[in-house]
Amino acid sequence: MIVLRSLLFNLVYYTNIILWMICALPSLLLPRIVLLRIVRTWARVNFFLMRTLAGITCEIRGRENVPPGGVLVASKHQSVWDTFAMFLVFDDPSYVLKRELMWLPLFGWLASKAEMIAVDRGARSKAMKQMHADGAAQLARGRQIIIFPEGTRRAPGAEPAYKYGVVYLYNEFGVPCVPIALNSGYFWPRRQFIRRPGKLVMEILPAIPPGGDKTAFFEQLQAGIETASDRLLAEAQGHAMQEQTGIA
C-alpha cells in the first residue's frame, strides 16, 4: 500500500510542480508580491497532496518564536519539503541557494523574480561578501533570510556538518537568528521513492539574539537544532512503531 501511495504522490507532485511553474510565468511581468502569493498557494496544495495521497500530515510548532521583521533563519535540511514549507511560516522569505539553480529553465527565472540569494560556492570569500550584500538588502526590506547551515540535505540522525557561513551572516547582519528543527527526512527521504505516512513536524526554536560571541552562537545553534531534530525523529519513529504494533 505504501508503495502505491508513494507512486501516486510522486507522479502528482512532480507533474504539479511543472504545471505551477508554467502558470506562474506571467508573474515575471508583475510585482513580486504576485509570485509570492502563487508560491504560497502552491505550498498549500502540496500540504493537501501530502495529506490526501501520502498520508502525511504537517505540524508547525513554535510560530510565536518568530520575531517581526527581518531575521536570519537557520534550518535543518532533510527533505524537499523544507524548501516550500517556509512560505507558510514566514511573511516574505528569501532563500540562500547555489547559483547553478538559477540557470534552470522556469525555476531559475522564477527564483530570480523572487529575489533569492544566489551563491557561487566556488568563489568562497567573494561569495560570502556577495551573500552579505544581497542579504542585507533583503533584510532592509523586512524579509527573512533562509539558510540551511549544512549546505545540503542530510539524512535524519546523520552526523551534523554545519558550515561557517551561518556564523558569518549572524555576525554581519546583526539581527536575531531563528533556529529550525524538523523530522521531514523520515517521511520524505532524500533520493528515495518512498513517502512514509505519519505526522511531519517542524519546530521553530527561540530566536538567538544578535551580537553574541561567534563561537558560542555556533555551538548554541548546532546543539539546539540537532537536539530538537533528534527528538522529533524519535517522536516520528515512536508513532510508527505504535502503528505497526497496534498500540494506541
Q: How confident is the model at residue 248 (pLDDT cuts 50, 70, 90)?
A: very low
Per-residue model confidence (pLDDT) at position 119? 87
Cα(197)–Cα(50) distance, integer angstroms: 9
CA-based R_g, the chain, Å = 18
**pLDDT above 70 coverage of the chain, percent:** 96
Per-residue model confidence (pLDDT) at position 129? 83
Does residue 97 or residue 247 have the better pLDDT?
97
Give pLDDT tens digits for 10-69: 999 999 999 999 999 999 999 999 999 999 999 999 999 999 999 999 999 999 999 999
Q: Could you list the residue range(s) of the whole structural domain that residue 113 is in?
A: 56-245
Per-residue model confidence (pLDDT) at position 245? 67
DSSP helix/strand/coil, 19: helix
Asked if 24 contacts 87 with a C-beta cutoff of 8 angstroms, the reply is: no
Whether residue 120 lies inside any domain: the answer is yes
Whether residue 143 lies inside any domain: the answer is yes
Whether residue 6 lies inside any domain: the answer is no
Q: How far is CA 22 from CA 48, 75, 97, 109, 112, in A?
A: 20, 29, 21, 11, 15
- For 225-244, what is the mean pLDDT? 88
Q: How confident is the model at residue 123 (pLDDT cuts 50, 70, 90)?
A: low
- For 135-155, what is the mean pLDDT? 94
pLDDT at 146 over 90: yes
Per-residue model confidence (pLDDT) at position 246? 61
Does this model's pTM top 0.85? My answer is yes
Does residue 244 or residue 96 have the better pLDDT?
96
Domains in the chain, number: 1
* Cα dihedral: 82, 142, 138, 223 (round 10): -40
Asked if 6 contacts 54 with a C-beta cutoff of 8 angstroms, the reply is: yes
What's the CATH number where 208 sits? 3.40.1130.10
Mention every residue, 6+ apart, whose C-beta is less than 8 A from residue 238: none
Strands 198-204 and 177-182: antiparallel
Whether residue 5 lies inside any domain: the answer is no
Q: Could you identify the residue written with the cell 509570492?
A: 36
Whether residue 14 lies inside any domain: the answer is no
Give me the sign of the Cα torsion angle 100, 103, 105, 107. positive
pLDDT at 163 over 60: yes
DSSP helix/strand/coil, 185: helix
- For 190-200, what is the mean pLDDT? 94
Strands (E), the chain: 56-61, 71-75, 93-98, 117-119, 144-147, 177-182, 198-204
Helices (H), ranges, 98-213: 107-113, 125-139, 165-173, 184-187
Q: How far is CA 222 from CA 20, 92, 144, 228, in A?
A: 35, 25, 20, 10
Whether residue 38 lies inside any domain: the answer is no
Give me the sign of the Cα torsion angle 93, 61, 153, 20. negative
Per-residue model confidence (pLDDT) at position 73? 98
- For 151-156, what is the mean pLDDT? 92
Per-residue model confidence (pLDDT) at position 22? 96
Whether residue 26 lies inside any domain: the answer is no
Q: Could you identify the residue written with the cell 545553534?
A: 221
Give pLDDT tens digits for 67-115: 999 999 999 999 999 999 999 999 999 999 988 999 999 999 999 999 9
Per-residue model confidence (pLDDT) at position 113? 96
200, 202, 205: which is closest to 237 by C-alpha? 200
Whether residue 86 lies inside any domain: the answer is yes
Q: How far is CA 192 from CA 3, 53, 71, 78, in A?
A: 12, 17, 33, 12
